[in-house]
């Protein structure tokens, strides 16, 4: 198969769909690799590195999209990229379609087959292609939140770790999944007073066993969240409903009970955000203030540490890329129900139930499309 890797064009997005190491593996499998010039240059992967690994360097994104049978990206295709897709072409990337009806419409109109990293599952019901970026985003959430608390950044001037004689800052993490656990780990490492709230008692028990008494765990009832949000210096939104829009768990009214200069970091912003006052921001302009509360809602947080993120993502995605390229997407999806869970759009139809529900489109069962 001929695989294409375009340069990412989202604001300050320096990750790349395939590393030279992944290209080498795929070339050894007998596939053709077409990589846009400069696709990995910002994170130390030169065009010569890609040539040495077995790729051909394309001069433009138009060439990559025109010639490739399968596009491998990182972030959701932007409108200009969607318009370059064609019937029968496969794209494998993060999509996050639930809060993005325009992207969904363009993908459907293109006639392409779109498989989303974030809805591929494994035998334990986990999300193996979302997990590495969730780990990074969770850890970054504390870094960016701590910086946003600086007075120079509009924050309240609280040092999360405190100092002798001064209490540490209070961090509330809403959601105990991969993002939440990594955020809690980082916050505790800084010495903050950390509470993690979730609605799964088994998950809270796991977190209690994992971190011990340094981490406080709370069942995420509306009453508990109301009290905890009001008391927090930094709130991390880390909730996820697979394929669907994130629930709104903090209302604008609750902001009025927080200390001025407190910070919200919405890691769920890719799925629409879990705070009522959230809207997507960029690395160029990452924060804004509502009712005195600083909001950080960058939709591609791991892009800030693009070299680490690209390597971690490729470790997870490469086996799936190999399966899709080696078997063809129909056979690969027919043989692997977990990879089939990643199919979001095919031939103008929505093929993931949560995405269809969020967008108000009919759901088309991928098993019926594949005849399995």
- What residues act catalytically? 96, 270
Q: Which DSSP string do the residues of 2-25 spell out, in sequence order?
A: EEEEPPP-STT----SS-HHHHHH
Residue 135 to residues 58, 163, 241: CA-CA distances in angstroms? 33, 28, 17
Gyration radius (Cα) of the chain, Å: 21
Reduce the DSSP state of residue 130 to 3 states and report it: coil
Given a contact cutoff of 8 angstroms between Cβ atoms, the answer to whether 293 and 299 are in contact is: no
**Residue 221: how many CB atoms within 10 A of its CB?**
11
- C-alpha torsion sign, points 152, 153, 155, 160: negative
The CA-based dihedral angle spanning residues 102, 105, 108, 114, taken in that order and rounded to the nearest 10 degrees: 20
Residue 287 to residues 162, 175, 244, 334: CA-CA distances in angstroms? 24, 22, 25, 44
Tokens of residue 156, six digits: 């309240």
Find the largest Cα–Cα distance for the chain. Answer: 67
Total residues belonging to the chain: 372
Given a contact cutoff of 8 angstroms between Cβ atoms, the answer to whether 240 and 259 are in contact is: no
């Amino acid at each position: 198969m001929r695989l294409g890797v375009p340069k990412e064009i989202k604001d300050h997005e320096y990750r790349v769909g395939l590393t030279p190491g992944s290209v080498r593996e795929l070339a050894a499998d007998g596939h053709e690799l077409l990589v846009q010039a400069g696709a990995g240059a910002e994170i130390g992967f030169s065009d010569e590195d890609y040539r040495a690994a077995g790729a051909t360097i394309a001069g433009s994104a138009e060439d990559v999209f025109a010639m490739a049978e399968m596009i491998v990206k990182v972030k959701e295709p932007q409108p200009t990229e969607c318009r370059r897709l064609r019937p029968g072409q496969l794209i494998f990337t993060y999509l996050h379609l639930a809060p993005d009806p325009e992207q969904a419409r363009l993908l459907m109109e293109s006639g392409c087959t779109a498989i989303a990293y974030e809805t591929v599952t494994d035998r334990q019901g986990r999300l193996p292609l979302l997990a590495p970026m969730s780990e990074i985003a969770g850890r970054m959430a504390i870094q960016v939140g701590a910086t946003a608390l600086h007075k120079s950044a509009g924050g309240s001037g609280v040092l999360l770790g405190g100092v002798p004689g001064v209490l540490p800052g209070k961090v509330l993490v809403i959601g105990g999944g991969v993002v939440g656990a990594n955020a809690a780990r980082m916050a505790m490492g800084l010495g903050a007073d950390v509470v993690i709230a979730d609605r799964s008692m088994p998950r809270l028990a796991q977190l209690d066993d994992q971190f011990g008494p340094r981490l406080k765990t709370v069942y995420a009832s509306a009453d508990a969240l109301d009290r905890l949000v009001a008391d927090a210096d930094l709130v991390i939104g880390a909730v996820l409903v697979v394929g669907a829009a994130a629930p709104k768990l903090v209302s604008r009214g609750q902001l009025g009970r927080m200390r001025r200069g407190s910070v919200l970091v919405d890691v769920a912003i890719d799925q629409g955000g879990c705070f009522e006052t959230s809207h997507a921001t960029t690395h160029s302009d990452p924060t804004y203030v509502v009712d005195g509360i600083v909001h950080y809602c960058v939709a591609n947080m791991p892009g800030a540490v693009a070299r680490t993120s690209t390597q971690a993502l490729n470790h997870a995605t490469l086996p799936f890329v190999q399966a899709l390229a080696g078997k063809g997407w129909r056979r690969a999806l027919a043989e692997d129900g977990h990879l089939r869970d990643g199919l979001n759009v095919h031939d103008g139809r929505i093929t993931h139930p949560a995405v269809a529900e969020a967008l108000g489109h009919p759901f088309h069962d991928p098993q019926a499309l594949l005849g399995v």
